[in-house]
């Protein structure tokens, strides 16, 4: 059967089970949109307000559903507007296929109108990027793009198609697409046996869990492994929900804004088992002082991560689900009662403290957790609000925190929340934003209202760029350069102008009432929370310091008092 390139693209999407595409049309991609129109009963297209919103929505859809997210954009600025979203997905290993269209083959390389080498631009931020100039290679390229996006360590792939290819005819034969096999090519019995031996010799083991556990759907195996090892469990930002936040063994996040329990515990353990995590600088602090007393066992699907940031004593390369399954089969139940008791003492000694009477980030997050019973999907932008969400919402299940961990993309959360809600319709989906982040992509409120996608946008408005200001306050002598946002923007009026239900709150009682109403209304809602500009995220590790040097407000007050006393 001969069909044109645009129809081939749509048929290939159907082969992959794609039911939703996020995008924005333009001249070069018009043929594809025309083909998509004819299949609107099979593939839903969500028109976002900006191409970056489309990329973030595809990313959020992928994180929440476990499927590949798909976004479309036209040539030139349409394609380049996807770049931040593609880079966000790449840094967090999220499977996204971005399909763009370019000028015709004869116009390539001639600085034609809206021409850009997007395949070249995207090369460093994708697992692979293609430009298709021959319609006969189009179907195989798209199929390969989806395979690459899903297999091994997932990630984004870009396919750029010239406009003449979208119109040219070629033979097309449908294919049955097989699910990618879990990567075990480098997994050996010797590695498993060595890991088991290390675990059995350990008296103070600690588990450090990353996003790879979620990507491999290994939460069940992780719970079994933690029980067999009898070890406390901490996580990275990307690992939230892989291990239940309500489990007694859970000690909270590790790193720059991790709990003292996790940071102190990892600093004292004799065996650190890292699973699907990459030892980012936000986790390790001073790498030379990280887990100095521990042997390190690193489990990861990507061999490039082994010994990249932290030297390991042993490693297992393979899919986390497969590795944990094999380890669990060989492990006998260990007993580390004294070690667990020691960690529990830390938990009692260093609880997360905040004012439960005022409207502040931690209090808002704990009330969201209570009202949603911990069952919501939480998206976040980047900054103080992101850290408060990670610290104070008890994530019990995987794929319930959508956040830009690697790239730290302000403006990510609203698009991601829209994508998640489209993909998982029966869940409450809430985006946590700062006022600075809301300004970045607030136009996506119009996307939510256009399709009546009932996301709840919660803005922590402290009238400053909170996290940057926190650093200026602590490390830059309170010189608040370009971080004050005292202006005339009214977020409630702006949101209402785009068709959302919006309300401003100044007390925790008003917030709880507003959130309960938003859930009941089941329409796009915005809640602006006016909080104090000097609220900070604690605990914190200073740049360049060891995570064992984590400090909180009490430590800071004590240090300031001692300095004041010494200066007299």
| Separation of alpha carbons 68 and 48, rounded Å | 18
CATH number where 295 lies: 3.40.50.1220
Domain of residue 65, residue span: 2-171
Structural domains of the chain, count:
3
Q: Compute the distance between CA of residue 438 and CA of residue 71 in angstroms, rounded to an integer.
A: 22
- 365, 339: one domain: no
Beta pairing, strands 2-4 & 169-171: antiparallel
Looking at the DSSP bridge assignments, the partners of residue 129 are 158
The CATH number assigned to the domain holding 9 equals 3.40.50.970
- Domain's final residue, options 316, 343, 370: 343
Give the total residue count for the chain: 568
CA distance 250 to 226: 10
Q: Are residues 92 and 166 in the same domain?
A: yes
Ramachandran region of residue 291, left (φ > 0), alpha (ψ -120 to 50) or beta?
left
Q: How many CB atoms lie within 10 A of CB 308?
A: 14
Tell me the two tokens of residue 63: 């994180």
User: Can you tell me the distance from the alpha carbon of 159 to that of 96, in angstroms, rounded to the nearest whole number?
Assistant: 11
- Tell me, yes or no, whether 494 and 368 share the same domain: yes
Q: Are residues 52 and 114 in the same domain?
A: yes
In tens digits, what is the pLDDT along the chain, a chain of 568 residues? 899 999 999 999 999 999 999 999 999 999 999 999 999 999 999 999 999 999 999 999 999 999 999 999 999 999 999 999 999 999 999 999 999 999 999 999 999 999 999 999 999 999 999 999 999 999 999 999 999 999 999 999 999 999 999 999 999 999 999 888 887 777 889 999 999 999 999 999 999 999 999 999 999 999 999 999 999 999 999 999 999 999 999 999 999 999 999 999 999 999 999 999 999 999 999 999 999 999 999 999 999 999 999 999 999 999 999 999 999 999 999 999 999 999 999 999 999 999 999 999 999 999 999 999 999 999 999 999 999 999 999 999 999 999 999 999 999 999 999 999 999 999 999 999 999 999 999 999 999 999 999 999 999 999 999 999 999 999 999 999 999 999 999 999 999 999 999 999 999 999 999 999 999 999 999 999 999 999 999 999 999 999 999 999 999 999 888 878 887 7
**Residues 334 and 368 both lie in one domain:** no
The pLDDT score that the predictor gives to residue 81 is 98
Residue reference for tokens 């979620």: 214
Q: Looking at residue 4, what is its pLDDT? A: 98
Domain presence at residue 355: no
Q: With contact defined as beta carbons under 8 Å apart, do 273 and 208 qualify?
A: yes
DSSP 464-532: B-HHHHHHHHHHSTT--TT-B--SS--HHHHHHHTT-EEEEE-SHHHHHHHHHHHHHHTS-EEEEEE--
Same domain membership, residue 413 and residue 334: no
- 165 and 207 both lie in a single domain: no
Residues taking part in catalysis: 51, 113-114, 163, 467
- What integer pLDDT is reported at residue 564 of this predicted model? 80
Same domain? 80 vs 106: yes
Please check whether residues 157 and 266 belong to one and the same domain. no
Q: Are 231 and 277 in the same domain? A: yes
| Residue 50: closest CA among 453, 420, 447 | 447
Greatest Cα-to-Cα distance within the chain, rounded to the nearest angstrom: 89
Q: Decide if 178 is inside a domain.
A: no
pTM score of the predicted model: 0.97
Q: 86 by DSSP, 3-state: which?
A: helix
Percent of the chain as helix, strand, coil, to the nearest 5: 45, 20, 40
Who's near 475: CB < 8 A, 6+ residues apart? 542, 543
- The predicted pLDDT at position 179 comes to 85
Mutual orientation of helices 83-91 and 412-423 as an angle, nearest 10°?
70
> 461 and 528 in contact (C-beta within 8 Å)?
yes
Residues 119 and 255 in one domain: no
- Cβ atoms of 128 and 151 within 8 Å: the answer is no
3-state secondary structure of 154: coil
Buried b (16+ CB within 10 A) or exposed e, 54-82: bbbbbbbbbbbbbbbbbbbbbbbebbbbb
Domain final position from 171, 201, 236 = 171
- State the pLDDT at residue 94: 98
In this structure, the answer to whether residues 82 and 214 fall within a common structural domain is no
| Inside any domain, residue 249 | yes
């Amino acid at each position: 059967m001969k069909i044109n390139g645009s129809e081939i693209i749509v048929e290939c999407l159907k082969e992959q089970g794609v039911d939703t595409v996020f995008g924005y049309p333009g001249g070069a991609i018009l043929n594809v949109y025309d083909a998509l129109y004819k299949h609107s009963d099979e593939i839903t297209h969500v028109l976002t307000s900006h191409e970056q919103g489309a990329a973030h929505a595809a990313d959020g859809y992928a994180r929440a559903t476990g499927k590949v997210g798909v976004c479309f954009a036209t040539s030139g600025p349409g394609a380049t507007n996807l770049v931040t979203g593609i880079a966000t997905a790449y840094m967090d290993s999220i499977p996204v296929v971005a399909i763009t269209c370019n000028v015709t083959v004869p116009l390539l390389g001639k600085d034609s109108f809206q021409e850009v080498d997007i395949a070249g631009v995207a090369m460093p931020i994708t697992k692979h990027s293609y430009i298709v100039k021959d319609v006969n290679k189009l179907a195989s390229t798209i199929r390969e793009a989806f395979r690459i996006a899903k297999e091994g360590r997932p990630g984004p792939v870009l396919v750029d198609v010239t406009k003449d290819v979208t119109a040219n005819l070629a033979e097309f034969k449908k294919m049955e697409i097989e699910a990618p096999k879990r990567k075990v090519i480098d997994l050996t019995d010797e590695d498993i046996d060595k890991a088991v031996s290390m675990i059995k010799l350990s008296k103070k083991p600690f588990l450090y869990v990353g996003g790879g556990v979620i990507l491999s759907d290994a939460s069940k195996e992780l719970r079994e492994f933690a029980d067999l090892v009898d070890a406390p469990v901490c996580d990275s930002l990307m690992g939230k929900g892989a291990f239940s936040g309500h489990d007694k063994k859970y000690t909270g996040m590790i790193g720059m804004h991790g709990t003292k329990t996790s940071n102190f515990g990892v600093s004292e353990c004799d065996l650190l088992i890292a699973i699907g995590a990459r030892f980012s600088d936000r986790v390790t602090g001073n790498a030379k002082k990280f887990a100095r007393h521990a042997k390190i066992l690193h489990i990861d699907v990507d061999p490039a991560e082994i010994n990249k940031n932290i030297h390991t004593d042993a490693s297992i390369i393979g899919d986390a689900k497969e590795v944990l399954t094999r380890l669990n089969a060989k492990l006998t139940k260990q007993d580390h009662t004294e070690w667990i008791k020691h960690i529990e003492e830390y938990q009692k000694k260093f609880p997360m403290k905040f004012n439960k009477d005022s409207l502040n980030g931690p209090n808002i997050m704990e009330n969201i957790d209570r009202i949603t019973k911990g069952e919501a999907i939480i998206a976040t932008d980047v900054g103080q609000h992101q850290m408060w969400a990670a610290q104070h919402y008890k994530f019990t299940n995987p794929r319930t925190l959508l956040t830009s961990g690697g790239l730290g993309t302000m403006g990510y959360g609203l698009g991601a929340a829209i994508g998640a809600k489209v993909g998982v319709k029966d869940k409450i989906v809430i985006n946590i934003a700062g006022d600075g982040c809301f300004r970045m992509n607030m136009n996506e409120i119009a996307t939510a209202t256009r399709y009546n996608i009932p996301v709840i946008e919660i803005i922590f408005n402290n009238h400053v760029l909170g996290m940057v200001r926190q650093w200026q306050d602590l490390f830059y002598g309170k010189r608040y350069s370009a971080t004050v946002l005292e202006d005339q923007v009214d977020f409630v009026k702006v949101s209402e102008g785009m068709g959302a239900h919006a309300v401003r709150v100044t007390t925790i009682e008003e917030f709880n009432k507003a959130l309960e109403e938003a859930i009941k209304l089941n329409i796009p809602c915005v809640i602006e929370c006016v909080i104090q500009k000097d609220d900070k995220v604690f605990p914190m590790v200073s740049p360049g310091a060891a995570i064992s040097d984590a400090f909180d407000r009490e430590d800071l007050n004590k240090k300031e008092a001692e300095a004041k006393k010494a200066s007299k």
